[in-house]
Every structure is written in structure tokens, then in C-alpha cells.
């Protein structure tokens, strides 16, 4: 085995777990995907199923009730689920995204208070960084937190937040020192949904990932104890960027799953669809499309798995590889799903077939957790 392959070789136990997840995705998730998309409903039944199968334990260490199987295994699970339904894969992705700040930077008290219930699936989090005027540039953030004795008082509105309304707590980034300068003086807090002053604002009506509720959580002088601060005061951007180094891998895995699911469906369709007296996969034009789709997606998997191995080892260049994996796989998912629609022709354009949903779902992977333009900036900075 080559050194590269050895860097992310799976154990027999991990292979068995992957095969179990693949079977669950095919048998339980795929049949629900079209309905989840059409009704734009959160799949509570699949969340319960994932809890029963201990999938929500994947992001966590054994001391917090998790599986302790690492970053690679988590993202293999995201990939397998996303092949069937990108919205459902987001449940597992956000379970990691919304707990990474606590896992990486939180106090032991915060870890013990929140992580075990997330590992069982009893609780689910949300990650609230973006605002109407603070997307790629967090310097536009206006949500503020003011210290008042042993509490922090948080006021502001966030935007484009996944898990809105279903999350049990929110990781909220707020300005704690407005004099610190651009993108500085920001701190991170845990805010439970039961806190007085918290409310659910507008929901977005989205192009894709419709089974994941997205919108505006509102914080109107919400008081949280000082113990809910994550890390140090005014070091919130360190928390956010450290989190995204890992969580971008989930987006890459989601994009990879979408691309592989679209490729597999288009290849199966091309075997059965006949025109001019033969299956359309007998025509070179279709063959070349399928060959490119399969090759590009396989290349994305190699990059993602290598990036996951680096994250598991804590390599210094893990952030660069995380950005590259997200950039490549997201762009590839968009390319591949457009080609899948083209292979199906008119059938690809109607909701009776899944590839148009896959194309709509793919687009968000180029946008959230750092646009692909931002990923290029991150990568280029490491090359100076």
C-alpha cells in the first residue's frame, strides 16, 4: 500500500460501519428524499433513526459519549448519506459544526454540559456567525454582547443559520469590544433556546437543501452566564476560523456524496435509456460525460480523505487541505450534477427524477461555510 493510501486506510470495523451507513442511506433515506424536498420538512423520523444507530456520536470522543472514530469516519458517513439526500446529511454536518467550538475551545464544564446530549442526538446545535451585513466579511457584525456582572447580555440578529427553530442551543458570535478594529473584539457564546429574549425570526425559502430549516435567530437582550463564554473574551474569530478548518470537510463530503449520487444515477439511466435502437451509454458523447464525472469525483474523494487524515493527525497544513477539499468537491458537484441533468435530457429537468434536486442541492456547497472564492483566498495565503 502506498504512503498516501496508508494515511487514510480504513480498519475492518470502519469499513463495516461505512457499509451499514450506505445500506441505511439506500433503504431508509433515499425513499424519503423527494418528499423531504417537496414539502421542505425537517426529517424528524430520520433524526430519530440516526440517534438509534449512534450516528450522532461520530463527531465526539468516547468521554463525551461519542464513537471516537475520527474526522474521516464522520465524513464518510456524510458522503454516504448525501448520495441519497443532501438535506438529511446536513443533520450530521451541523451536529459537528455547532459543537466544534465547544469541543475545540470550550471549558470542561461546557463540554460536559452540552456534548453528551449531542452525542446521543437528544440535542442538536446551530452555528450563528453570519449576519445580514456580515457574510464573507465578519467585520460587518453588529450583534453585541455586554458584560453585566456575572452575565453577558446579547442583542442582535443572525442570518442564514441552519437548524433554525430545531436547535436546542446556538453558538453565537458577538462584538464584545467595538473599539478593537475590523473583525476583532468578537467573542463566542453558547445560547440555549430557552433563554428569555431568544426568538425565531424569518425562515428562508431556498433553492435547495429544503429539508434543513434556515433563517434568522433573534437575540433581544438575552442573558447568559459568564460560564457560557467559549474560549477567551475577544478571541471569537479564532474560535470561528479554527472551527471552519474542520467543518469545511463536512461540506466537501456533502458535495462529494451529491456528485457520486448523481454520477451513479446518470450511469444507471444511460444503461437503460434507449435511443436510435441502442442504450445511450453506447454513444461516445455520453461515455465521455460519464467518464469525466466518475474521474473528477474519484479525484475529489482522494483529496477529501487526505484532508480528513491531516485533520485527524492535527497536521499544520490541515486548514489549507480543508479549503482545497471544499473548493474542489463543491465545484465538481455543480459540474457533475449539471451533466447528470443533461444526460437525462427532459427527464433530468423534472422532479420525478432526482438529478434536478441534486443540482439544486449542489449549489449551496459553493456558498456556505466560506464561499469558494474565500477558499481560494485561504489557499493562496499559504503560498506566499
> What number is the average pLDDT over the span 283-295?
98
Predicted confidence at residue 21, as pLDDT, reads 96
> What number is the average pLDDT over the span 144-161?
98
> What number is the average pLDDT over the span 175-189?
93
Residues marked active site are found at 369
Number of domains in the chain: 3
Domain co-membership, 254 together with 377: yes
Domain co-membership, 119 together with 131: no
Domain co-membership, 258 together with 377: yes
- Are 84 and 261 spatial neighbours (Cβ–Cβ below 8 Å)? yes
> What number is the average pLDDT over the span 65-91?
97
Place of cell 471552519: 244
- Structural domain includes residue 54: yes
In this predicted model, what pLDDT tens digit does every residue of 276-288 receive, in sequence order?
999 999 999 999 9
Least Cα distance to 123 among 190, 71, 69 occurs for 190
Average pLDDT score, the chain: 95
Domain co-membership, 323 together with 367: yes
- Structural domain includes residue 3: no
In this predicted model, what pLDDT tens digit does every residue of 191-229 receive, in sequence order?
999 999 999 999 999 999 999 999 999 999 999 999 999
Task: Out of 3-7, 243-247, 312-316, pick the least confident.
Answer: 3-7
Q: What's 156's domain CATH number?
A: 2.40.110.10
- Structural domain includes residue 2: no
DSSP state of 368: S
- Structural domain includes residue 130: yes
Domain termination residue (choose one: 124, 154, 178): 124
In this predicted model, what pLDDT tens digit does every residue of 224-282 receive, in sequence order?
999 999 999 999 999 999 999 999 999 999 999 999 999 999 999 999 999 999 999 99
Domain co-membership, 199 together with 271: no
Domain co-membership, 374 together with 248: yes
Domain termination residue (choose one: 124, 151, 169): 124
In this predicted model, what pLDDT tens digit does every residue of 25-77 receive, in sequence order?
999 999 999 999 999 999 999 999 999 999 999 999 999 999 999 999 999 99
Domain co-membership, 172 together with 286: no
Helices (H), 273-317: 284-313
Domain termination residue (choose one: 62, 91, 124): 124
Q: What's 334's domain CATH number?
A: 1.20.140.10
Supply the range of the domain harboring residue 243. 237-382
Distance CA 214, CA 115 (A): 23
Q: What's 19's domain CATH number?
A: 1.10.540.10
- Structural domain includes residue 1: no
Domain co-membership, 32 together with 85: yes
Distance CA 132, CA 165 (A): 18
- Structural domain includes residue 4: no
- Structural domain includes residue 5: no
Q: Model's pTM, two decimal places?
A: 0.96
- Structural domain includes residue 47: yes
Query: Which grid cell is 304?
Result: 477529501
Distance separating the N- and C-terminal Cα atoms of the chain: 34
- Are 268 and 279 spatial neighbours (Cβ–Cβ below 8 Å)? no
Domain co-membership, 279 together with 325: yes
Domain co-membership, 119 together with 139: no
Distance CA 285, CA 318 (A): 39
Domain co-membership, 281 together with 250: yes
Domain co-membership, 132 together with 217: yes
Burial of 381 (0-12, 13-18, 19+ CB in 10 A): exposed
Amino acid at each position: 500500500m502506498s504512503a498516501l493510501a496508508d494515511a487514510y486506510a480504513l480498519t475492518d470495523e470502519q469499513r463495516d460501519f461505512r457499509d451499514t451507513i450506505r445500506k441505511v442511506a439506500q433503504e431508509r433515506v433515499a425513499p424519503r428524499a423527494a418528499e423531504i424536498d417537496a414539502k421542505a420538512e425537517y426529517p424528524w423520523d430520520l433524526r430519530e433513526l440516526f440517534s438509534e444507530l449512534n450516528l450522532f456520536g461520530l463527531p465526539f470522543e468516547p468521554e463525551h459519549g461519542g464513537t471516537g472514530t475520527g474526522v474521516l469516519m464522520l465524513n464518510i458517513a456524510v458522503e454516504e448519506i448525501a448520495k441519497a439526500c443532501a438535506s438529511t446529511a446536513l443533520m450530521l454536518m451541523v451536529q459537528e459544526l455547532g459543537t466544534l467550538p465547544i469541543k475545540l475551545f470550550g471549558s470542561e464544564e461546557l463540554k460536559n454540559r452540552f456534548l453528551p446530549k449531542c452525542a446521543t442526538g437528544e440535542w442538536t446545535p446551530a452555528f450563528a456567525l453570519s449576519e445580514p451585513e456580515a457574510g464573507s466579511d465578519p467585520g460587518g457584525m453588529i450583534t453585541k454582547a455586554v458584560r453585566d456582572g456575572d452575565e453577558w447580555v446579547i442583542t442582535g440578529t443572525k442570518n442564514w443559520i441552519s437548524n433554525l427553530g430545531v436547535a436546542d442551543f446556538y453558538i453565537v458570535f458577538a462584538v464584545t469590544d467595538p473599539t478593537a478594529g475590523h473583525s476583532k473584539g468578537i467573542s463566542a457564546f453558547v445560547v440555549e433556546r430557552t433563554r428569555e429574549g431568544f426568538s425565531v425570526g424569518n425562515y428562508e425559502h431556498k433553492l435547495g437543501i429544503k429539508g434543513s430549516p434556515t433563517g434568522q435567530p433573534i437575540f433581544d437582550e438575552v442573558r447568559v452566564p459568564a460560564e457560557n463564554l467559549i474560549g477567551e473574551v475577544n478571541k471569537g474569530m479564532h474560535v470561528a476560523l479554527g472551527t471552519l478548518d474542520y467543518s469545511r470537510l463536512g461540506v466537501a463530503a456533502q458535495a462529494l456524496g451529491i456528485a457520486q449520487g448523481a454520477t451513479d444515477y446518470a450511469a444507471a439511466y444511460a444503461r437503460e435509456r434507449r435511443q436510435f435502437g441502442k442504450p445511450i451509454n453506447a454513444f461516445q458523447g455520453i461515455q465521455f460525460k460519464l467518464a469525466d464525472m466518475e474521474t473528477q469525483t474519484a479525484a475529489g474523494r482522494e483529496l477529501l480523505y487526505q484532508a480528513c487524515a491531516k485533520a485527524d493527525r492535527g497536521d499544520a497544513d490541515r486548514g489549507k487541505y480543508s479549503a482545497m477539499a471544499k473548493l474542489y468537491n463543491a465545484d465538481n458537484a455543480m459540474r457533475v450534477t449539471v451533466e447528470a441533468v443533461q444526460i437525462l435530457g427532459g427527464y433530468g429537468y423534472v422532479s420525478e427524477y432526482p438529478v434536478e434536486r441534486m443540482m439544486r442541492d449542489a449549489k449551496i456547497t459553493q456558498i456556505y461555510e466560506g464561499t469558494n472564492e474565500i477558499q481560494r483566498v485561504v489557499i493562496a495565503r499559504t503560498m506566499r
